[in-house]
Each structure stands twice: as structure tokens, then as C-alpha cells.
Amino acid sequence: MFDIDLWREIFQSINKNRLRSMLSGFTVAFAIMLFTILFGIANGLSNTFAEAFGDDATNSIFIQSGTTTTAHKGMQAGRRIQFDNEDFNYIKDDNGNKIEFITARIYKNVTATFRNEQNSYSVQAVHPDHMFLEKTIIREGRYINQRDLNERTKVVVIGRLVEEDLFLKTTALGKYINLSGIQYKVVGIFTDEGGDNQERLIYMPVTTAQQVYGNNDYIDQINLTYNPEMNFDQAIAFSNSLTKKLKERFSVAATDQRAIRVRNLASDNKAVNQMTTVLGVLVLIIGMGTLIAGIVGISNIMIFIVKERTKEIGIRKALGASPKSIVSIILLESVLITAIAGYVGLLIGVGALEYFGPGLKEYFITDPSVSSSLVVSATIVLILAGGLAGYLPAKKASQIKPIVALRND
């Protein structure tokens, strides 16, 4: 296989028969180009949908409270529902392994000061799990941890833009920031793919916020992600039972839509997931189809090539070529043509995506591209395809009888 002379023979044969090699490569190049472009467009479509859902975990459930709208169990309408730590623990303990991550959230608005710079920001007081729910990316330092919660430490994790606004060109890590009159130590700086607003947030431990702002154990919102092993129906059933239990806990009428609101992203996601799956399958089928057509095309041409080279193969055999060397010469030629042509097709396809991609945004196609893993697997498939396409013709070639090939006609 790594015999340089064998490769020299193959290159000579390809080089001396350029038209033939080009023609056989064209089919494959075209097939791969189509495949790449289709795949890129499908990726672009699913990117558009993914963007619409921002950066939150897709298995999220948000639980919020409001005021009752109907009287129930002797209590009047207009009663305000307030979650506290006990409710949080109840949900957490009651559902065990159905929950992947869970966090409380308390919203506050503060004026933050560092030296001469001042600006107002939203603070979210959270549990450590919040990082996974919100897909926060820690750039420097660390996130809120359990010890912060236990000790109610005055620490904050600030967004990239907060650092830029207040600390100008210097690093914020380890410095103290003043939030409405109280000093907090900056222990981490994060980035977030959810956009600028998400990067203008300040996170602090939930217990710290509870102590500092009101000395109570109130919680504004509870976010959780359900166990990703649950399917869609299980996820919906889970959030429904959660709603029911909470309504009972707070003596809220089952029909009351405002007192306790549970939003499950699963129901939003299902349609999109189904569509992207169908799209993916469609692209795969079309792609495979074109690829198979390409393979059949090259196989056809290889059969023709073998026919055309019958005499040459006969001569080679008369001169002492073993069947194995005949197989490898035809097979490798096929693999080489397929691989090169396929790669050219891939490059053209990727190039087209790069070139036309940005202009397709208005057609719901965002950032159409193919991943490098796809490129690698496509290359492997190409080599295998070349081998497959060349195998039968090569086998046929190796069975040519020199006496038949050399008959004078």
C-alpha cells in the first residue's frame, strides 16, 4: 500500500488518461458538493431555530408565582403567592432524580460602583446549579459554590460587560465592587452566548441576598431542568404533576392560571426538534442517494476502464504481475480518484456555503456550515466508497486471462 513504485504506476496511469480520470471524478465531486451544500443549509435552518430559543437548556422548567385570580378554600382572590426556601427544598426533595439541576432566583436592581465608574445592573441571587441551567461560561475565577451559600459570603460573579463598564481595561477578579452601598468581592467573570443583556448581569449567592435584602427566605422564581433521559411525554407529565402539587400546597384553585405559573420548554421544543430531525433525515437520504449515485457512476467507469485496459493487464500478467498487484493498482486508482474528486467537491461545497452563507439570513438560514467531524467522516466514507466502487472491477481485472487479453485481434 505504501509502495512508492505502486503509487508512481497509479499516478502515471491517471496522468496519462486525464480525461477519463476527470470524467470519473466529476460524478463524485458533484455528489459530494451537493451533499455538503444540503447539509450546510439544513444546519443553517436548525441554527435559526436554536437561536430563537436563546442559550437556555432546552429541558428547562420555569416556576413563577403571582396573585390568585379566584377565591379558593375560603381565601379571597388577589392573594399574593410567595415562594421561600422551604418550597425550594420541597420541590427538590420531592422529585429526586427527576431533576437534573435546580436553582432559585431572586431579582434585585443595584447601582454598582468601582472607583469613579458607576452604573445600574440587575442582580440575580442563585444556587450553584444556575450555571448549568443558564449555560454560563466562566472566563476567569469561579462560579457561586455551596460554601458561599452556607457561609452567606459577600461574593459576586459578574458578566463580561460589567467588567468592561466598571473596571475599564483592568481585571475585576479579586477586587471589591460596591453594590448599593455594600462591598462584594468579585470571584468570577463570565460570558454567555445569550447576548449582551445576559452579560450585564451580576450573580450572587441566594442566601447572601436573602440576608442582605430583607433578612427573609423569600424566592422570586425557581428554575430547574428535568432529567434529560425523560422523553417528551414524561417531561410534560412531570411538569403537570409539579403544577398540581404546588397549587395544592398553596391552596390555589386548579383552574387558577396566574397564581402559580409553570413553563416547560419541552412543549416549545418538541415541534422544532421534530422538524430538525425530519430535515436531518431528509438531507441524509438525499445525500446518501447522491453519494450512491456517485459510487455507481465511478464503478461503471472503472468497469469500462478495466475493459479498456484488458490488454495492458494481460501484458502485465505475462510479465509476471500477480493478481494482487493488479487488484491494488485498479483499487487504489479508484480510491485515489474518488478521494481527490470528493475532496474537491467538499471544498467547493464548503466554499459555496462560506461565500453565500451570510446572504441567506433572510431565508431563515443562519450560519450554514458543516462541522469538521463531518468533513473527516465524509473523507473516510469517500475512501471506503472508492474502495467499494473499485473492488468489483478490480476483482474482474485480476481474473483476466493473459491468453485472452493478448489474443491478436
Partner 1 sequence: MLKINQLHKSYPIGDSSLHVLKGIDLEVETGEMVAIMGSSGSGKSTLLNIIGMLDEADSGDYILDGVPIKNLNEKKAAIYRNKFLGFIFQSFNLINYKNALENVALPLYYQGLKRKERLEKGKFHLQKVGLLDWAHHLPSELSGGQKQRIAIARALAADPKLLLADEPTGALDTKTSYEIMEFLQQLNDEGKTILIVTHEEDIAEMCKRVVRLRDGVIEEDKKVNQVRASQYV
- Interface residue with partner 1 among 216, 234, 322, 377 (CB under 8 A) is 322
Binding pattern for the stretch 149-168 against partner 1, x by CB under 8 A and - elsewhere: --------------------
CB nearer to partner 1: pick between 353 and 400: 400
237 binds partner 1 (CB under 8 A): no
Q: Does 387 engage in binding with partner 1 (CB under 8 A)?
A: no
How many Å apart are CA 23 and CA 297, to the nearest integer? 10
Q: Using the rule CB under 8 A, is 98 a contact of partner 1?
A: no
Closest separation between CB of residue 399 and partner 1, Å? 8
Answer yes or no whether residue 369 interacts with partner 1 by CB under 8 A. no
Rule CB under 8 A: choose which of 278, 282, 318, 384 binds partner 1: 318
Burial class of residue 37, CB neighbours in 10 A (0-12, 13-18, 19+)? buried
Binding status of residue 316 toward partner 1 by CB under 8 A: yes
The DSSP code sequence of 357-402 is GGGGGGGT--S----HHHHHHHHHHHHHHHHHHHHHHHHHHHT--H
User: Quick check: 302 and 393 in contact, CB under 8 A?
Assistant: yes
Residue 124 CA to residue 103 CA, distance in Å, equals 11
Nearest distance from C-beta of residue 19 to partner 1, angstroms: 13
* x-or-dash string of contact with partner 1, 9-28, rule CB under 8 A: x--xx--xx-----------
For residue 30, the minimal CB distance to partner 1 (Å) is 27
Which of 66, 141, 194, 402 contacts partner 1 by CB under 8 A? 402
395 lies in the binding site for partner 1 (CB under 8 A): no
84 strand-pairing partners: 218
What are the percentages of helix, strand and coil residues in the chain, rounded to 5? 55, 20, 25
**Contact flag: residue 108 with partner 1 (CB under 8 A):** no
The residue type of 106 is I
CA distance 107 to 265: 21
255 vs 319 by CB, closer to partner 1 = 319
Residue among 5, 74, 97, 109 that touches partner 1 (CB under 8 A): 5
Strands 155-159 and 182-191, by their bridges, are parallel
1 interacts with partner 1 by CB under 8 A: no
- Do 29 and 345 touch, CB atoms closer than 8 A? yes
Return the C-alpha torsion angle 124, 128, 132, 133, nearest 10: -40
Residue 322, C-alpha cell as written in the block: 500477480
Which 3 state secondary structure label does DSSP give 214?
Answer: coil
Q: Closest separation between CB of residue 392 and partner 1, Å?
A: 18
Phi/psi-derived region of residue 65, left when phi > 0, alpha when psi is between -120 and 50, beta in every other case: beta
> Between residues 280 and 323, which has the closer beta carbon with respect to partner 1?
323
Which region among 58-66, 138-146, 252-260, 310-318 touches partner 1 (by CB under 8 A)?
A: 310-318
Pairing of strands 218-219, 83-84: antiparallel
- Closest CB to partner 1 among 11 and 364? 11
Q: Least distance in Å: CB of 11 to partner 1?
A: 12
Does residue 325 belong to the site contacting partner 1 (CB under 8 A)?
A: yes
With CB under 8 A as the contact rule, which of the stretches 66-74, 124-132, 376-384, 400-408 interacts with partner 1? Answer: 400-408
For 138, the 3-state DSSP assignment is strand
Cα gap 123→205, rounded to integer Å = 10
Positions touching partner 1 (CB under 8 A) are: 4-5, 8-9, 12-13, 16-17, 311-312, 314-325, 398, 401-403, 406, 408
